[in-house]
Amino acid sequence: MKGFLLTLLLGMCLPAIAAPLRGTGDLGVVVERADGGLLVVEHTGDTILSEISGLGDLSHASVVFSRDERYAYVFGRDGGLTKVDLLKGKIVKRIMQAGNSIGGAISQDGKLVAVSNYTPGGVRVFDSDTLEQVADIPADYGAAKPSRVVGLVDAPGQRFVFSLYDAGQIWIADMKNPRKPVITRFRHIGHLPYDGLITPDGRYYIAGLFGDDNLALLDLWHPEKGVKSILKGYAKHDKKLPVYKMPHLEGWAIAGRQAFVPAVGEHKVLVLDTGTWKSRGEIAVHGQPVFVMARPDGRYVWVNFAHPDNDTVQVIDTESHKIVKTLKPGKAVLHMAFTPRGEKLWLSVRDDNRLQVYDTATLKLLKELPAKKPSGIFFTNRAHQTGL
């Protein structure tokens, strides 16, 4: 009997010994776009913890996190929405919610996940626990088919904000009653809004316009004032260049009272005063910027570029507006992510099948990790940042 009890007790204890508890604050995921997979990583020791497959087309994937940082919600280009358990390294649930999607957001309270769609257009909203659909917001605007939706972000007040590419509109969806969204529409904001961002304080939503030489700004504290045009004519004196890749506006850098903005098709970064939203100058850079990202303390901005200059990253001093370093990480640098306090930066080098980790003080390479065609890098601290 004693032997039986001892064996039983040992059996109960062994799983706890084999799988020690760990937190989620230093976790993240890296998209392996060619294979439809994710790497679960940690940035304390800069290691890969697990690999998850079966997430479909991740050629333009983005990720948000549950507020406890345990679950990642992955938005695939094929319309797939996948909930992933980071601690167990496996898929919890996967649904095909549309035919072609372009990103998503998680609500202020963490209970709703919204997806913006190209096909059939519109926004669909799901319960973050079960992935049950709770709302469908068609992007109908009087044309033969719904608009494609871009620039979807979460906003304070349990709202989602997004732009209608084909309609030239910005919509606010109030989700306090998730099964009955209240929609506020802003028409005639400009032609072809291709992406959007919300400032870190959640006050301003800005849409980039592919069809116009300006940006569209909406003050979410005072939506009754409507959308205003800012930075008019920023490219009127410049030679028109082919656009190899549209900038990603979630990567716009807000550093103190300055915003550093990638110019569409231009070899420059625009600088705006966030108090007046007027120009404070521009910075000539190596190529067409894709991501312009500020270190968390706002001291430096890191920039990567579109093809054919995507082997390069430049670091800009936000005080002097001077380029302090030009790096050559490798072929096709697609994405960058700072650790929460900014002491390190991870970047993906897709065509060299590797990740790189840099010391952001010395700008020295610390480590390389293997990855299959890596693109997006997302750390769990994004769970507590508006618009990410």
Here the CATH number for the domain that contains residue 183 is 2.130.10.10
* Predicted local distance difference test score (pLDDT) of residue 20: 81
d(CA 80, CA 98): 7
In a domain, residue 359? The reply is no
Q: How far is CA 367 from CA 30, 34, 94, 168, 329, in A?
A: 16, 23, 33, 44, 12
In a domain, residue 341? The reply is no
Number of domain units in the chain:
1
* Predicted local distance difference test score (pLDDT) of residue 15: 46
In a domain, residue 288? The reply is no
pTM score? 0.92
Q: How far is CA 308 from CA 77, 251, 289, in A?
A: 24, 20, 11
* Predicted local distance difference test score (pLDDT) of residue 12: 52
In a domain, residue 352? The reply is no
* Predicted local distance difference test score (pLDDT) of residue 245: 58
SS (H, E, C) 128-159: CCCCCEEEEECCCCCCCCCCCEEEEEEECCCE
Residue type, position 363, single letter: L
In a domain, residue 74? The reply is no
Q: Diameter of the chain by CA atoms? A: 89
Q: Is the dihedral of CA 72, 77, 81, 85 positive or negative?
A: negative
* Predicted local distance difference test score (pLDDT) of residue 265: 83
d(CA 256, CA 299): 9
In a domain, residue 33? The reply is no
CA angle centred on 90, ends 20 and 47, rounded to 5°: 60
In a domain, residue 260? The reply is no
In a domain, residue 299? The reply is no
Residues contacting 89, CB < 8 A, separation 6+: 40, 49, 50, 51, 52
Domain housing 163: 97-244
* Predicted local distance difference test score (pLDDT) of residue 18: 52
**pLDDT tens for each residue of the chain, 388 residues long:** 555 555 554 455 444 445 689 999 999 999 999 889 999 999 999 999 999 999 999 998 999 999 999 999 999 999 999 999 999 999 999 999 999 999 999 999 999 999 999 999 999 999 999 999 999 999 999 888 899 999 999 999 999 999 999 999 999 999 999 999 999 999 999 999 988 989 989 999 999 898 888 899 999 999 999 999 998 876 665 655 555 556 666 667 888 889 998 888 889 999 999 999 999 999 999 999 999 999 999 999 999 999 999 999 999 999 999 999 999 999 999 999 999 999 999 999 999 999 999 999 999 999 999 999 999 999 999 999 998 8
Residue 343: CA count within 13 A, CB half-sphere: 7
Q: How far is CA 13 from CA 1, 5, 17, 22, 88, in A?
A: 19, 12, 6, 17, 19
* Predicted local distance difference test score (pLDDT) of residue 14: 43
For the chain, report the end-to-end CA distance as a whole number of angstroms.
57
Residue 152: CA count within 13 A, CB half-sphere: 29
DSSP 34-51: TTTEEEEEETTTTEEEEE
